[in-house]
Chain A
Amino acid sequence: MDYLLHVLVMLCLYVILASSFNLLIGFAGLFALSHAAFYALGAYATAIVATSLGLPFPLPLIVAVAFTAAMSVLIAVPALRVSGHYLVVVSLALQIIVIEVILNWTSLTGGTDGISGVPAYSIGGWRLDSPGRFLIAAGLGAAVCFWVCWRLAHSPFGRALRAMRENEDAAEAVGKNILYMKVTVFAFSAGLAAVAGTLFARYYTYVGAQSFTIDETIYILAMVILGGTANLWGSVLGAAILVFLPELLKFVELPVDIADKLRLVIYGLILILILRFRPEGLLPEPKGARAMFVPVDAERQAADSSDLFAGAQGGAGDVILEGRKLRKTFGGITAVADFSIELRKGRITGLIGPNGAGKTTAFNLLTGFLKPDSGEIVLRGESIGNRKPHELVAAGVARSFQDLRLFTRMTVIENVLVALPRQAGDDIVPVYLRPARVRAEERANTARAMEILRFVELDAKAHETAENLSYAEEKLLVVARLLATGAEVLLFDEPMSGLDRTTLEEVFPVIRRLAENGKVVCIIEHNLDVIKELCDVVYFLDEGRALAVGTPDELMNDPELATRYFK
């Protein structure tokens, strides 16, 4: 009986580890393979605080979680500058370094001997020293940790994490603070791993570095992938399978000397086979309406979206955003030189010019994605050259991308929802401390998102996954997402390219209406018909300079430009 209870205790520990790792890997898309190192830090911190310092529960737990979360931030911040395979290798390096420091810092950690005699939990003299009794603590810990993960994943913050996973720049372009999100999710993931660590120390009453090697990280990773990334129930299922399977295999009778190796062979084969037939994991990421956090009836509510469609106060024609003598070079190549531009309220400004003229670079400068080498960017009379993209979105400047950069594995409505401004749930504190407010806001936001989708006529596809949209629909979603930011200045990078005439006719009024409502609109465009149809003023760029400024007609009648560009 104790045996089964022991396995259940193990399951509780791995549920914590797998679901917290899933936050990092599945939701945030941060492939940092150092989870077992944080597990170790939690276990060792508990062991040291409880034995050497002799502090009573819950102090060791608090110290373990706080210390591990703090350490993770300290070491993760530099590591998070890199992504993809580099992050994999840097975090593997981290994993190895942490374990080696533990092994070599003998005076504190007991070195290769580890630390024995960690006191077991006891409640008024009732010691949790058998698997059955400990299961109470482990089950409670797992439930609380799972709830913490669940709350995080099913909040606007969690949605922003998935947006960041899909495309970091695009998430930043809809106003998300990438660094804050990465650091927070890293600290949460590590802190929760530390809870598993503290349970480990209390259950085994012994900690040794052998239990926290890369193998352990890989074991937890396999649970996450097998169960399904970005699905917390998947992590529970993955943990259950990988905890029970090896135990079940013990009941397979095999020749003694090779039995355990053969069991591992079977284990590996089962892993491969499951992945072969369920490549998305056993429980894939929720899709469609199931991805929503509030009941879909919220979508039918009336919404107050006026602030999203209208510009801020001020008269038409006022200069809102201005770039002065901007200059940007990339290793000797000048992309933008002495470029000045004024974007006015209620007007549609066009940027045209040959490929490589510096149009997109100019966009990047105006929206904070690049810093100018010299020159100034002024928003409503205030210099904003040093602000980050997400700060600019909050201040009212947002942009789209030529290559769309939709959050492809999220639904249409989620793409819009994530872009809505000033969400309390983007901050981690209200997610836990003011859940009612976050929920009420989420309902209101759902209605607003639906209204925007109706505006671009995508409301029928609200729960479609973005990657399943047609090209024209994708373009419309880009517009919707940009609108959702509520920014006053909207910069569209080639919003019309690749659309046929009929679709163009549908998009034109959308953009015109934005300007009429007082938005500041700027578009990069190649299609002269579009320019003629839409723009009030056009900048012609070549080799990083504005060669000419004027109305579309003025520029097209310029004989010099005509020979160079308009053929």
Chain B
Amino acid sequence: MSAKKNTTFLIFQDNEDARPIIEAVEQDNPGVDVQHQPGMVRLERPGSLIVKRETVEELTGREWDVQEMHLVLISLAGNVDEDDDKFEISWG
């Protein structure tokens, strides 16, 4: 698969609620490409992207349900694998 086709991405609204999630993605996904666009933030990475509950909880200082992510998620690309502790997308 070409590099372009292999790309996974998550796009979040650019607001207070999404900020800790974006920071968590930056921490947990080495080499992630963060593109700030008007009103939204696009996170791209070849292969896979993961959002970990533990990291977001550390950043927000409170309990966080992975499902809360959908309130600020605009779009995504990749096959979804999610449970109580993580939300992961990948091509594979």
A and B form one complex: no
Give A contacts to B, CB under 8 Å.
Answer: none
